Amino acid sequence: MSKIATLEIDGKKYEFPILVGSENEVAIDINNLRDLSGAITMDPGFKNSGSCTSKITFLDGEEGVLRYRGYSIEELSEKANFLEVSFLLIFGELPTAKQLEKFENDIRRHSLVNEEMKSIIDGFPKTAHPMGVLAALTSALTAFNPKSVNVENEKEMYEAVCKTMAKFLVIASWTYRKSVGFPLNYYDNTKGYVENFMRLMFEVPTEPYKENPVIIAALDKLFILHADHEQNCSTSTVRMVGSSHAGLFASISAGVSALWGPLHGGANQAVLEMLEEIHANGGDAEKYMAKAKDKNDPFRLMGFGHRVYKNFDPRAKIIKKAADEVLNTLGVEDPILDIAKKLEEAALVDEYFVSRKLYPNVDFYSGIIYRALGIPTDMFTVMFAIGRLPGWIAQWKEMRENKEPIGRPRQMYTGQTLRDFKPLEKR
């Protein structure tokens, strides 16, 4: 392949280098396009624009492939645990047994959250959405950890990673405890990370908490499946905010806000609400399919479609299987699962969905599992955020280590040209 791309504007030719990634992805490096030609490119939604090079996650949307640091998502979700995968994403290699033990212990060491954070939570009404509270609390952590991380100092960066992993899990669970009026509790340093999450959420002072290993294993798998997804909306946000050299907590707080939207992580809550509505209205999946296809109706089939996957989302395949297993093992019969399967079957043979390559995405079945595990619906996106945390940290770290410049897109101005100011009395 030629190593040069040629662009012609107004009869003048410009040449740009062609870059090829390790999986043979091709990019045209237009870094000096404006300097040379005065022109910029337009690509709203960044459908064709790369913002960085990255060694973290590879995804091939046409083939339905997802790999973290070269390892397939199928193998990782089967054989590794969430902290191993987090270490892999953040530090580049799978940990040795010793490194993993140290990582787990170092996270424990940072699990106390400043007591003054509790008064911040007290300021929120009980009805506040947990994602809004989580974004605010993550941002508030900057007040208690004001020192910015020196990314070139390995020890400092490692400590920041452990601190973020530990405190985020605790405050995520507190958003739920606040909403139900439970006393805020503490990480138990004798337990594992995912085990701790369930305790942090559901343990009450009045009776012993009984763990369910099926639930822990299912959550672990779900967290792995959500752990990274290259330059999606929230991750790009984390990298963008971090590119101004804002701190790790501030950048992650921005990522939480981006994730909240129903077109992104908020879709898992929207899917379950949609399935419940279909169920409540007699289970007529066809009616909702018709609504989704009607261009005069803003309704979209939530949990379907993806910006990058134009083939099955590999995570959805794994989650669908896990949903069946978890519901069977827990002995839960959920009519919602049947509606989901009916909708999927109908969409897979429907011309509208087939021609637009709209397949179930990661969020389509995850809510059904969360529901079976006893997680309330408005906590679903918080669950996604916990899973995505190591990805955000890894991408933030990589961006700073690569010394990427501050993110600052261009625009094409289409507003008024210069005009005279009219004094107030003449308008």
Does 215 contact ligand CMC by CB under 6 A? Answer: no
Whole-angstrom distance, CA of residue 347 vs CA of residue 304: 9
Q: Among 300, 317, 341, 342, which residue interacts with ligand CMC (rule: CB under 6 A)? A: 300
What's the min distance (Å) between Cβ of 45 and ligand CMC? 6
Tell me the site size for ligand CMC, rule CB under 6 A.
Answer: 19
Q: Is 13 helix (H, G, I), strand (E, B) or coil?
A: strand
Q: Does 232 sit near ligand CMC (CB under 6 A)?
A: yes
Closest to ligand CMC by CB, 133 vs 301, is 301
Selected from 362, 369, 382, 385, the binder of ligand CMC by CB under 6 A is 362
356 binds ligand CMC (CB under 6 A): yes
In the three-class reduction of DSSP (H, G, I as helix; E, B as strand; rest coil), residue 18 is classed as strand
**Residue nearer to ligand CMC on the CB measure, 46 or 186:** 46
196 touches 172 (CB < 8 A): no
Amino acid identity, position 355: S
Residues with Cβ within 8 Å of 306's Cβ and at least 6 positions away in sequence, in order, are 61, 313, 359, 361
Choose, by CB under 6 A, the member of 56, 113, 267, 326 that binds ligand CMC.
267
Q: Is 255 exposed, middle or buried (0-12, 13-18, 19+ CB in 10 A)?
A: buried
120/362 with CB nearer ligand CMC: 362
Catalytic residue among 306, 313, 350, 378: 306
Cα separation, 189 vs 195, in Å, equals: 11
| Among 217, 228, 224, CA closest to 259 | 228
CA dihedral 126, 131, 133, 139 (to 10 degrees): 180
Q: Given the complex with ligand CMC, which of 195 and 363 has the nearer CB atom?
A: 363
Give phi and psi for 264, each to the nearest 5.
Answer: -115, -125
Asked about 363 being catalytic, the answer comes back as yes
Is 269 a residue that touches ligand CMC (CB under 6 A)?
no
Max CA distance (Å), the chain:
79
If one asks whether residue 228 binds ligand CMC (CB under 6 A), the answer comes out as no
The least distance separating ligand CMC from the CB of residue 288, rounded to whole angstroms, comes to: 10
Residues 360/320, Cβ–Cβ less than 8 Å: yes
Minimum CB–partner distance for residue 363 and ligand CMC (Å): 5
> What contacts 24+ positions apart, CB below 8 Å, involve 146-149?
148/245, 148/247, 149/247, 149/248
Please list every residue from 247 through 266 that binds ligand CMC, using CB under 6 A. Answer: 263-265
For ligand CMC, the binding residue among 77, 173, 361, 395 (CB under 6 A) is 361
Q: Which residue is nearest to ligand CMC (CB)?
A: 305
305 binds ligand CMC (CB under 6 A): yes
Q: Under DSSP, is residue 360 helix (H, G, I), strand (E, B) or coil?
A: strand
x/- letters, 57..76, toward ligand CMC (CB under 6 A) = --------------------
320 near ligand CMC, rule: CB under 6 A:
no
* Contact flag: residue 302 with ligand CMC (CB under 6 A): yes
Q: Which of 185, 180, 173 is nearest to 137 (CA)?
A: 173
Closer of 151 and 343 to ligand CMC (Cβ) = 343
Positions marked catalytic: 306, 363
The residues of the shown chain that bind ligand CMC, judged by CB under 6 A, are 232, 263-265, 267, 292, 300-307, 356, 358, 361-363
